Structure 1
Amino acid sequence: MTPPEPFRLTASEAQAKFKDGSLTVETYAQSLLSRIKARDSVTNAWAYLSPDLVLSRARELDQIPPEKRGPLHGVAIGVKDVILTKDMPTQHNSPIYEDDAPKIDAASIMTLRANGALIFGKTTTTEFAATSVGPSHKGPKTANPHDPTRTAGGSSAGSGSAVGDLQVPIGLGTQTVGSTIRPGSFNGIYAMKPTWNAISREGQKLYSLIFDTLGLYSRSVADLKLLLDTFQLVDDEPVPSEPFTIKGAKFALLTLPTPEWPEPGPGTASAVTKAAELLRAHGATVEEITLPDEFRQMYKYHLQVLSGDGRVAFLPEYTIAKDLMHESLVGHVENVANHTRRDQLKAFDELAAMRPKLDALASKYAAIIGPSAIDEAPVGSNTGSAAFCGPWTAMHMPVVNVPGFKGENGLPIGVSVVAGRYRDQYLLRVCEEVGKVFEGEGGWKREM
């Protein structure tokens, strides 16, 4: 049997080959670069990529003696272009920062490099990761690898598309409402928004201080765990060494996050229903729930906080180059929504009061299962609704998009699996087993 081309390997699979000497980082990088060369005209997932820089760093990693190699040795990672990288431009998809290249790494990049990662390039984003239209100020828009007429998702579209298209095994995104989870669903990959503030955000442009969270993309739960371990995310209660058992577990099925949310499309409705059926078939109890009315205004408060935070976040660029900014960002600074400071304080306080209540609800179940996106990726450049992702961002809870389902057009649809705050490692343990079921029996198979 012919072994798979290196670009098809997950990060964990590539690492095993680095360790046994059957694959070098340089050969691996060359395979990924060849994949990108063949596919980038379709996906347009990269804002900056230097093959010479990638191969130079790969050769350096190959020269490190085995006993001195880090836990992420050779792992190729695409980085959303709002996260600072000392050897590559960070442009925020804004003409204000075109070709701007700060000589400093963000804290997350410092950590990844110190552990042996191969920072591959910068992936596309919407303007300042804060608009709903795909990358457009220069070059073509990022496309969904499974249907280039459709969006690859939210502001982290480039990382989602690159990982979904096998161009890199791991991507970094960010999430302020749904910019990690939604692309995960659209591109048919695992996507994780960890507990808020569990990973340093120093060195990335923040839209919202109390919502922005680093996002993680991969094609396996094992690769997500590599990242959590590298960032030293540790639960208060040690995760049992034995695998999580679906049989006998109790899940909550959240069909509508709050009474005011939109109805899911047919693909998502079918995916959520099938997810529940599969869990029950494997011996779990699944209890259908809807959040009570006290959570009705969660999304309203979420958007109010974003409006207030945006007034501060985008003031510097507004001051120097208002005419080069998207109108929605200008609107934040000028407070066109007319939110008062009292409005903002109420939103802060109401959301803070909800969080321990959602933790208490989550603690009653092995996990909460819910929709990741309204439906399949929509046609065009609009990145789609983030409504179903917003609750877990607002509540600071960890969430993983688990792929495996498909919509009416055969495109991937994922399902969100959620746990209480700072139970990230536990959540991955649950997703490891749930993912086997959803990927194996959900009906969607990767064809590329």
Structure 2
Amino acid sequence: MAVSGKKLRELVPTLRADEGRLHDYINEAVKGAVEAKIKHNAYISLVDADRLDDRLRELTSLPDKKKAKLPLYGVPLAVKDNICWKGAPTTCASKILANYRPTYTATVVERLEAAGAVVLGKTNLDEFAFGSSNETSAFGPVTHPRDPSRIPGGSSGGSAVAVAAGSVPLALGSDTGGSTRQPAAFCGVYGLKPTYGRLSRHGLVAFASSMDQIGLFAKNPDDLRLAFEACAGPDSADATSAVPPEIFPENFDPCAGFAVGYVREHRVAEGVQPEVAKSFDRLLEKFALMGCRVVEVSLPSGVHSIAVYVLTALAEASANLARFDGVNYGVRVEDMPDDAVFGPRADRLLRMYAATRGLGFGDEVKRRIMLGTFALAEGYYDAYYLRAQRVRTKIRRELDEAFSKVGLVVSPTFPTTAFKLGEISGKPLATFLGDMFTNPANLAGLPALSVPWGEDFSGLPIGMQLMGPAFSEERLFTAAEALAAVAG
């Protein structure tokens, strides 16, 4: 069941003007969310009926002048379950946080609610956002909206499915190495990873703090723009939030001979599905037909981006997840059998830590914590983590050089379309290798947008990525709109 297909700028005025229309619309959205939860396991929890009624009462009681100032008045919103919403379960799809209810709301959610949005529920994800298939959730896998035998991508798969299935027009995800853009590509919707710091991370459960960013999903670029404008901006609660420049990068204008770049090294990358490669060729052709100059750029250090990303992400994850110990956060397990891990004479506190984390974390989370701890260990820190940071700096500089020549760098979002459930389960390397196109934006803190761009022979969506210099989100929205106009 899908909610209205209208763009939000057209829909919102009708919701402001007619209280009955608003209630009908929200009721349809709730039915759609329930359906998406049952059919695809897209949601972990749905909003309590009393809380929803209170929210609608709050909105409808506003004077007309106040309603007119709310750009998202009555718009249903889904929130990834690693983003806090006061009083509601925030599980990160993990057993260890099964009972956690935050005492505060994430800044981005607060701002969207202040703009009139109505939260309908918390969406499923890979546990602690560790994964790219949405199969590692303690609440079970999410399935693809077009083919339930396939994965929707991850880690924000639940949010992508919520939008693709039509239960909500907007959803929040997170993106550390492609976790918004890849499921957007797999599910045929738009997915934005903003400039690092452009959206506050206050209330986002940390994975890799130097790369984490809250992302946005929508069915068209203008809805993304509307939501982004409502929640972007500095936040005193987030020391890494960015103050935008006085002068933003110039907008996309193909009539002015705008330069679009493709990465030389990407053209010879292995493992790219033939239909994806053909779709990318068609993307470059469309840019050229619009009047853009299509330019080759080089990112020689990009061949190391996966290794750099893995070392950085796992090291930071190891530190961030230390807080989930049954004392600070997490469901406490007091003891383990005598023969488990440490034996009967181990210190009681140590046994409690081992029991809590051993039973509370899934296999993928444990694997990443162990690898990250190894990378930070004395004797290995310089050889692995610091060396990765030096290469990360080179990648940033090479992207800066590329953006001195072009206004956008484009690529496929992911080398393939959605794969079968279980196809990459138990294959840790496979979960990282597909991020070769997406993780440079996280390493450099740059904005990137996945746009739907055709289908493969099985009817599965293909996504293309537009990446720009810092603070060029409006350029990405405008370019995406131009592509949508010529996509046919």
Residues 182 and 373 of structure 1 are in contact (CA less than 8 Å); yes or no, is this contact kept in structure 2? yes
Residues 26 and 55 of structure 1 are in contact (CA less than 8 Å); yes or no, is this contact kept in structure 2? no
Measured after TM superposition, the shift of residue 406 of structure 1 is 0.9
Q: 1:359 to 1:20 in 2, by over 3 A?
A: farther
The residue type paired with residue 225 of structure 1 is R
CA distance in 1, matches of 2:367, 2:141: 24
Residues 225 and 477 of structure 2 are in contact (CA less than 8 Å); yes or no, is this contact kept in structure 1? yes
Please, which of 348, 357, 380 is the counterpart of residue 421 of structure 2? 380
What does 1:19-418 correspond to in 2, within 5 Å? 19-21=16-18, 24-50=21-47, 52=49, 53-69=51-67, 70-135=70-135, 138-233=138-233, 234=244, 236-238=246-248, 244-245=253-254, 248-254=257-263, 256-257=265-266, 261-292=269-300, 294-317=301-324, 319=353, 320-335=356-371, 338-339=374-375, 340-342=380-382, 343-381=384-422, 382=424, 385-418=434-467
CA distance in 2, matches of 1:101, 1:36: 21
* Aligned residue number for residue 444 of structure 1: none
Please give the per-residue CA displacement for 1:104-127, whole angstroms capped at 9, x wherever unaligned. 101211222222211121000111
SS at match of 2:262: strand
SS at match of 2:148: strand
Gaps of 5+ in 2: 234-243, 326-352, 426-430
The residue type paired with residue 226 of structure 1 is L
Measured after TM superposition, the shift of residue 286 of structure 1 is 1.6
Measured after TM superposition, the shift of residue 15 of structure 1 is 1.1
CA distance in 2, matches of 1:178, 1:90: 21
TM-score norm. by structure 1 comes to: 0.89
Please give the per-residue CA displacement for 1:252-286, whole angstroms capped at 9, x wherever unaligned. 12364497x53311121111011112222333222
CA distance in 1, matches of 2:137, 2:388: 33
Measured after TM superposition, the shift of residue 347 of structure 1 is 1.8
CA distance in 2, matches of 1:351, 1:222: 33
CA distance in 2, matches of 1:273, 1:267: 10
After the TM superposition, which of the residue ranges 131-140 and 206-215 deviates more from structure 2?
131-140
Q: 1:137 to 1:403 in 2, by over 3 A?
A: closer
CA distance in 2, matches of 1:390, 1:6: 33
The residue type paired with residue 422 of structure 1 is F
Measured after TM superposition, the shift of residue 212 of structure 1 is 0.5
Q: 1:109 to 1:7 in 2, by over 3 A?
A: same
Measured after TM superposition, the shift of residue 19 of structure 1 is 4.1
Aligned length: 433
CA distance in 1, matches of 2:132, 2:232: 32
If you compute each CA radius of gyration, which structure gives the higher value, 1 or 2?
A: 2
Measured after TM superposition, the shift of residue 426 of structure 1 is 2.5
After the TM superposition, which of the residue ranges 193-202 and 249-258 deviates more from structure 2?
249-258
Q: 1:144 to 1:275 in 2, by over 3 A?
A: same
Percent identical among aligned pairs is 24
CA distance in 1, matches of 2:372, 2:192: 33
After the TM superposition, which of the residue ranges 280-289 and 221-230 deviates more from structure 2?
280-289
CA distance in 1, matches of 2:40, 2:108: 26
Q: 1:295 to 1:377 in 2, by over 3 A?
A: closer
CA distance in 1, matches of 2:444, 2:59: 40
SS at match of 2:436: coil
CA distance in 1, matches of 2:132, 2:407: 33
After the TM superposition, which of the residue ranges 13-22 and 96-105 deviates more from structure 2?
13-22
SS at match of 1:35: helix
SS at match of 1:142: coil
The residue type paired with residue 322 of structure 1 is G
Residues 127 and 138 of structure 2 are in contact (CA less than 8 Å); yes or no, is this contact kept in structure 1? no
Gaps of 5+ in 1: 442-448
Measured after TM superposition, the shift of residue 59 of structure 1 is 3.3
Q: 1:258 to 1:323 in 2, by over 3 A?
A: farther
Residues 235 and 424 of structure 1 are in contact (CA less than 8 Å); yes or no, is this contact kept in structure 2? no
The residue type paired with residue 62 of structure 1 is T
Q: 1:132 to 1:298 in 2, by over 3 A?
A: closer
CA distance in 2, matches of 1:360, 1:254: 12
Q: 1:282 to 1:132 in 2, by over 3 A?
A: closer
Q: 1:236 to 1:296 in 2, by over 3 A?
A: farther
CA distance in 2, matches of 1:284, 1:35: 41
The residue type paired with residue 183 of structure 2 is P
CA distance in 2, matches of 1:249, 1:240: 10
Please, which of 425, 432, 436 is the counterpart of residue 481 of structure 2? 432
Residues 189 and 218 of structure 2 are in contact (CA less than 8 Å); yes or no, is this contact kept in structure 1? yes
* Aligned residue number for residue 445 of structure 1: none
Measured after TM superposition, the shift of residue 155 of structure 1 is 0.9
CA distance in 2, matches of 1:11, 1:47: 26
CA distance in 1, matches of 2:94, 2:216: 23
SS at match of 1:314: helix
Measured after TM superposition, the shift of residue 134 of structure 1 is 2.3
